[in-house]
Structure 1
Amino acid sequence: MAETAERLIRFSRLATPEADRMLRESPSLLDRVVSALESGVDLPLMIKPEDIERCGLDDNIIKRKEGSPPPARKEAIRLPERKNEKVKPEDMAPISDSISNLMKRRRETELDTPGLKSGSRALAREFDADLRIVRDPSSSMGSQGKIEDFRKLFLSRYRKLRSILLEQHGDLSPVENISDLRGSEEAARFVGIVDSARTTKNGHIMLELEDPTGRIKVLISKNRRELQSIKVVEDEVIGVTGKFRSGSGRGGSIVFADSILKVDVPSHHRRRISPDKGLLAAFTSDIHIGSRMFLEKEWKRMIRWFKGEEAASLKAEDGLRVKYLVVAGDLVDGIGIYPDQDRDLIHKDITKQYEALAESLSLVPDHIEIILIPGNHDAVRLAEPQPPLPEEFRELFTNPGIHFLSNPTTFDISGVRVAAYHGKSIDDMVTLFKDVTYERPIQGMKEMLRSRHFGPTYGMRNQLAPEEDDMLVIEDVPDIFVSGHVHRFEMDTYKGIQLIEGSTWQSQTPFQKMMNLKPQPAKMGVVELSLPNTMYAWEIT
């Protein structure tokens, strides 16, 4: 079982007991499953026997004899490993030519800026950039994909969120370990990670919580409506106070809840104020360059606004105040992301997609700092946290102030704290929370803040890497939280935190139309960094 699990965990997959038994009894079948995953076959996170049979691994998808080498990976789904060989000058020529062309276009663009020629002055150019990384997971990534890493991941989550809970809720003091709970007149107080949550036939909610010392059942009575209204999901860390009743046998001990305490953010967060008067930051997401549905005309109008050449919903001169542009993932459309995607692509080579992105961003004025994180369409691992773009793509970009960060990441811009997360966990939240929908994804952002975690639940559609340190915990309360993924645009505040769902630069694809997903493209959230509670919607008018 250990060998099967270790080989599957490399692809963030596990097998049910029945499927595991099949794979252990037939090593050649396990080889075929691994080969299928390497070649890009989309198997579920928890592989079942019917998944193996449905995929037709023996004949249909992987047609090869046992003992032959595994098939080559699909280009651009995973990057090929570098070989220890010298690079020939002629191999570098296309990239060198591309960079030379980008630099030439940048020089021409900087010399030909009508907005500046007419007497307008770029306020943003008068201020030095001030970008400080608060928390970026890239330096701590390095999971071996072993089962022990999963245990360390959840132990890290428990310890971090327990610390926040104890800091926030005095009602939990003195806190106890689950194994130390005893019946007494004093209320039991403890913190646990939710292993399961269900509604009994009598209408009560039954939770099962665990900590490093043990497990306990917690009953929320149907008569405690204020507690039943608190939505609790699996893998969330919560605090509980209540009456402990010891027991043995099948029923075991139980706690009757008097309070359920969630981490959340402070009741009213006070946003940091930038000392740099007049500067703006623009927030968007999901560019999807490489797609036939990329909105190039609208993108260029945004560039002209940055240069002070053209007004939109905001004045042309406001574009000259933008110091930072933050893009929350899905920079290119990628390859092999959804069925029949190749029909929707202009560039079917991932390098050409990033070259096109580099060319588009080269038109952004050089006084604007560009901050990019990846998403599920980009050429990085799918499991979160995701590392920054690989060096072979980063070297294509010529902007002097461009920054490639992880997903998620937290940073300060001119003294204002920003959390940027692509938002793939929304795919799980729409099934867990009634008020979270693809039309109102910003409600999902609020749930992330309430649980202080970018991906609160494990094992659903969003893949989480088993790193020793859970880097998706929201340890630092942001002033601004930007996300994307679902191609909708919305702005809101939650307890003083400014929320921006970052739109897209891609019109509706045939796949989205089939799924009834309706994008709201070509929009940005714009924030005045030196003034609290100011957000503007940028859109073409």
Structure 2
Amino acid sequence: MPLESNARIVKELAARGYNAEREAVTLLANESDPAAAIDAAVDVAPDNALRITADHVRTIARDRSPDPTDVGNQSSAQNDSESARNDVSADQSPVEMEGSTTHTDRDGEPARSSHSGSEQPPEAVSSDSSLSASTSESSVSPNEPPAPPDKPPSSSESARELAQREISVGNDMTGRSTGTGEYADFVRTFRDRYERLSKLLRGRVNHRPADAIADMPGGSDAAMIGLVNDVRSTKSGHWLVELEDTTGTFPALIMKDKGLADVVDEILMDECLAVEGTLADDAGILFADSLHFPDVPRTHQTGAADRHVQAALISDVHVGSDEFMADAWSRFTDWLHTPEAEPVEYLLLAGDMVEGVGVYPDQDEELEIVDIYDQYEAFAEYLKEVPADTEIVMIPGNHDAVRLAEPQPGFNDEIRSIMDVHDAQIVSNPATVTVEGVDVLMYHGVSLDEVIAELPEAKASYDEPHKAMYQLLKKRHVAPQFGGHTRVAPEERDYLVIDNVPDVFHTGHVHKLGWGKYHNVLAVNSGCWQAQTDFQKSVNIDPDAGYAPILDLDTLDMTVRKFT
């Protein structure tokens, strides 16, 4: 096998049923005969091993070490090793040239990176010109020779890094579903939603229950917190909002000359809202002076890792589709094995690992793999290309083999057993993953369709999916509207409420790349790994495919790399 790239090493190992540590791949790539080294490493590994480690490679290297008195052998080995290193460096260059690097600045907008004081040509990654990525053609000057790969970390260094890793999961409802779909279950869900979200608003308004407001005299100042039961326009151009709490309903009239129109057009059915105003003379209606959403505090303080470590945020791989971009995926996993990607120790995947079956009309005509279990088998093979020491967390999406209603529990045991090539954590959608002190809210993002359909384009669009995510943060709920495209499963607890403010909000689903900061929360929609399908053409979706946002967990700066 010619030494072409780390990806070839990884694929050869995956074909034999193994994944591998980054250091092991680097050592194998530097062997004078990588094919023979791979065979030897597989022979050395125990029968029950699932991954090739650096120690396995070092063992075969020691077994094949030349006699120290044989100067000719030493010289030949040294030349072969040097040639291998040069080949690896040359092969990594195209990956670096395709790396699109963009960092968020202090205001949350991406800031272009530069080299030698000159600005690189921009490459658009979304329709908003403020969200553009600057393409770095190389990390070194074109007049200088490429730097050799960094020295692989020693075993003691690797052990220290592993010891520093810390990851925990909150709000995982897998195995905790209690709903039966009966009316009483829905009542419990919405009651829980009201109780938890109203607590966030009670410190801002002096609220009264609906039945108490109904007994107040006309002309009194009043405030109410409730779920939006109805929103409609009057003939005069005003808006009538009906709020419901645990005691009843009460109407609020928002006058068009109050300057609240910009807020009214953000209201969704079933979300929690506070209204302040004055009761009419007959006390039958509340004239609104102000509206309040639960919202994220502007003073939110983010967490941070105490070392330089990174997480790759991806979603919507869609293995099994005719349009799955296998080459781009391999370039991504190849890059993960390079010294440049050493800090990437976590992979957070926000749903739709496979294309699924019967998700949309005539989908079978666009499938490369028609059996859902075979799709997961293929995904597991692609997952083997990821470095074996990477911590992986996955949530399901609407194309995955779980219930469509949200919250979605993690996969069943049969699907989990197929994807056991990594010790991946498979949790529910949504879930909060705390990675070395950074809280990442992972949600696949089906409700973004609803938000984009209901709100003005300036506030939510497919070209700027992060702005739709801002609305979910403002409402402190990932799927506030019930009864539309987003299916909701009734549970004793509303797992879709955003109780604790995350540091990072990561979604997928819409196949568009977008990011920005809202009240210090980094909102990221990570695009996809599927080229445009015929169905997407029919609904005018032009996907952003082959991108990998790379998050610095110590600074919450982000780099977007392109692998297409």
- DSSP 3-state at the match of 1:478: coil
Q: TM-score, normalised by structure 2?
A: 0.72
Correspondence for 1:97: none
Query: Does structure 2 retain, via aligned residues, the 8 Å contact 1:285–1:329?
Result: yes
Aligned residue runs from structure 1 range 132-151, under 5 A: 132-151=168-187
Alignment match of 1:258 (pick from 260, 265, 289): 289
The answer to whether residue 435 in structure 2 is matched with residue 405 in structure 1 is no
C-alpha change, 1:228 and 1:513, in structure 2 (3 Å) is closer
C-alpha change, 1:496 and 1:228, in structure 2 (3 Å) is closer
Correspondence for 2:226: 192
Aligned residue runs from structure 1 range 42-191, under 5 A: 104-106=17-19, 111-113=24-26, 117=30, 119-121=150-152, 126-128=160-162, 129-167=165-203, 169=204, 172-173=205-206, 175-181=207-213, 182-183=216-217, 186-191=220-225
Query: Does structure 1 retain, via aligned residues, the 8 Å contact 2:349–2:394?
Result: yes
Alpha-carbon distance in structure 1 between the residues aligned to 2:246 and 2:420: 49
Alpha-carbon distance in structure 2 between the residues aligned to 1:140 and 1:102: 37
Query: Does structure 1 retain, via aligned residues, the 8 Å contact 2:512–2:543?
Result: yes
Query: Does structure 2 retain, via aligned residues, the 8 Å contact 1:124–1:279?
Result: no
Give the greater-gyration-radius structure (CA): 2
C-alpha change, 1:388 and 1:103, in structure 2 (3 Å) is farther
Correspondence for 1:269: 300
Alpha-carbon distance in structure 1 between the residues aligned to 2:378 and 2:286: 59
The answer to which of 397-406 and 407-416 deviates more is 397-406
Alpha-carbon distance in structure 1 between the residues aligned to 2:375 and 2:317: 11
Alignment match of 2:369 (pick from 342, 347, 350): 347
The answer to whether residue 273 in structure 2 is matched with residue 238 in structure 1 is yes
C-alpha change, 1:298 and 1:398, in structure 2 (3 Å) is same
- DSSP 3-state at the match of 2:256: coil
Aligned-residue sequence identity (percent) comes to 35
Query: Does structure 1 retain, via aligned residues, the 8 Å contact 2:225–2:274?
Result: yes
Task: Note the C-alpha offset of 1:376.
Answer: 0.3
The answer to whether residue 450 in structure 2 is matched with residue 537 in structure 1 is no
- DSSP 3-state at the match of 1:449: helix
Query: Does structure 2 retain, via aligned residues, the 8 Å contact 1:102–1:398?
Result: no
Alpha-carbon distance in structure 2 between the residues aligned to 1:305 and 1:126: 23
Q: TM-score, normalised by structure 1?
A: 0.75
Cα RMSD for the two superposed structures: 2.1
Task: Note the C-alpha offset of 1:137.
Answer: 2.2
C-alpha change, 1:235 and 1:115, in structure 2 (3 Å) is farther
Residues 324-365 of structure 1: CA deviation (Å, up to 9, x unaligned): 101111110000111111111111111110001111111211
The answer to whether residue 539 in structure 2 is matched with residue 505 in structure 1 is no
C-alpha change, 1:225 and 1:119, in structure 2 (3 Å) is closer
- DSSP 3-state at the match of 2:523: strand
Correspondence for 1:303: 333
Residues 449-489 of structure 1: CA deviation (Å, up to 9, x unaligned): 01000001000111111112111000111001110101111
Alpha-carbon distance in structure 2 between the residues aligned to 1:363 and 1:319: 14
Residues 158-212 of structure 1: CA deviation (Å, up to 9, x unaligned): 1110011124x1xx13x21110111266521221111001111111111111111
The answer to which of 394-403 and 454-463 deviates more is 394-403
Task: Note the C-alpha offset of 1:257.
Answer: 0.8
Report how many residues are paired: 424
C-alpha change, 1:243 and 1:119, in structure 2 (3 Å) is closer
Residues 102-152 of structure 1: CA deviation (Å, up to 9, x unaligned): 773325987443698555335777422311112212243121110111111
Gaps of 5+ in 1: 1-99, 309-316
C-alpha change, 1:398 and 1:210, in structure 2 (3 Å) is closer
The answer to whether residue 319 in structure 2 is matched with residue 289 in structure 1 is yes
- DSSP 3-state at the match of 2:17: helix
Query: Does structure 2 retain, via aligned residues, the 8 Å contact 1:109–1:363?
Result: no
C-alpha change, 1:307 and 1:183, in structure 2 (3 Å) is same
- DSSP 3-state at the match of 1:371: strand
C-alpha change, 1:187 and 1:116, in structure 2 (3 Å) is farther
Alpha-carbon distance in structure 1 between the residues aligned to 2:244 and 2:364: 46
Alpha-carbon distance in structure 2 between the residues aligned to 1:397 and 1:372: 11
